[in-house]
Amino acid sequence: MTAQLIDGNVLSKQLRADVAARAAALLARGITPGLAVVLVGENAASQVYVRNKVKACQDNGLHSVLEQYPATLTEAELLARVDALNRDPAIHGILVQLPLPAHIDAQKVIEAISPEKDVDGFHVASAGALMVGQPGFWPCTPYGCMKMLESIGYDLKGKHAVVIGRSNIVGKPMALMLLQKNATVTICHSGTKDLKAMTLQADVIVAAVGKRNVLTADMVKPGAVVIDVGMNRNDEGKLCGDVDFDGVNAVAGYITPVPGGVGPMTITMLLVNTLEAAERLFPI
């Protein structure tokens, strides 16, 4: 038996069509939802990510601007740019690509973004809203994972979800979203003593560590749902996730592939958040 694939490309296509329709409805009212993407430095992976984000906007009826600065940009200069974008009425969402050069305090820059434009969901106001269940922007990657679970009609109530990884961008918000849907949630991390004992209990496993083969077939309960957030390279240089796909595929009930799983969903949810930011400003 092999697991059913949750295809992030197929689901993204459906969700992006909805974004494009909603963007067209706003455009008919004279409003073009706009995203500003700010990149500092020459990180090669970041350059690919931001290009994909800008292209996704263009393909789905959203206005986007890409601001690229050299790694020598000062923190004060970046904060001044964020301030200008906060005031720019053509911009509804602001994304400062991480990582930033070491001389810039990333958290300080994130906190400078107006929470109404924080489409990455990284501002403490957004994190706090998620924690107390108030409206706010959810970080795109875990939000995309929730949409993947929703797409298979999975009811999380009473299920045991194990999240591997505790980053502010994925692990922690992921756990809160699963909790909000009434799952029993365990967060595992580098200090967890017996990871396998935890994952074997799980109905849902989200692997978000950034390391190959964190999850292997012997660690998965038959029929479990496995979501792979990892983006790594194997020895041949091929893109792979945190999950040993071939092994786990034979045990799990559902699995997300890499590539073509969570990756496209992250960008899709960025579009959704940007659209939502514009819609909140101009309610019907």
> Considering the rule CB under 6 A, would residue 97 count as an interface residue with ligand GUN?
yes
In the complex, residue closest to ligand GUN by CB: 98
According to CB under 6 A, which one of 40, 95, 113, 224 is a site residue for ligand GUN? 95
Indicate the residue among 118 and 244 with the shorter CB distance to ligand GUN. Answer: 118
Least separation in angstroms between residue 79's CB and ligand GUN is 16
User: Do 163 and 213 contact (CB within 8 A), yes or no?
Assistant: no
User: Do 207 and 219 contact (CB within 8 A), yes or no?
Assistant: no
Closest CA to 199 of 211, 190, 188: 188
Stretch that binds ligand GUN, among 1-9, 22-30, 95-103, 192-200 (CB under 6 A): 95-103
> Considering the rule CB under 6 A, would residue 199 count as an interface residue with ligand GUN?
no
User: Do 26 and 33 contact (CB within 8 A), yes or no?
Assistant: yes
Least separation in angstroms between residue 191's CB and ligand GUN is 23
Half-sphere exposure of 91 (CA within 13 A, CB side): 24
120 is known as an active-site residue: yes
211 is known as an active-site residue: no
How many of the chain's residues bind ligand GUN (CB under 6 A)?
7
Footprint of ligand GUN on 237-266 (CB under 6 A) = 266
Closest CA to 181 of 236, 239, 133, 124: 133
Three-class secondary structure of residue 47 per DSSP: helix
Closest CA to 202 of 212, 211, 210, 192: 192
* Spatial distance between the Cα atoms of 98 and 190, rounded to a whole number of angstroms: 22
Which candidate in 117, 118, 120, 203 is catalytic? 120
Indicate the residue among 27 and 98 with the shorter CB distance to ligand GUN. Answer: 98
> Considering the rule CB under 6 A, would residue 174 count as an interface residue with ligand GUN?
no
According to CB under 6 A, which one of 93, 112, 120, 225 is a site residue for ligand GUN? 120
* Spatial distance between the Cα atoms of 223 and 249, rounded to a whole number of angstroms: 10
Indicate the residue among 93 and 253 with the shorter CB distance to ligand GUN. Answer: 93
In terms of DSSP bridges, do strands 160-164 and 93-96 run parallel, antiparallel, or are they unpaired?
unpaired
- Torsion of Cα atoms, 154 then 20 then 13 then 136, to 10°: -40
> Considering the rule CB under 6 A, would residue 161 count as an interface residue with ligand GUN?
no
97 is known as an active-site residue: yes
According to CB under 6 A, which one of 73, 85, 140, 177 is a site residue for ligand GUN? 140
Among all residues, which ones are annotated catalytic?
A: 53, 97, 120
The residues that touch ligand GUN, with contacts defined as CB under 6 A, are 95-98, 120, 140, 266
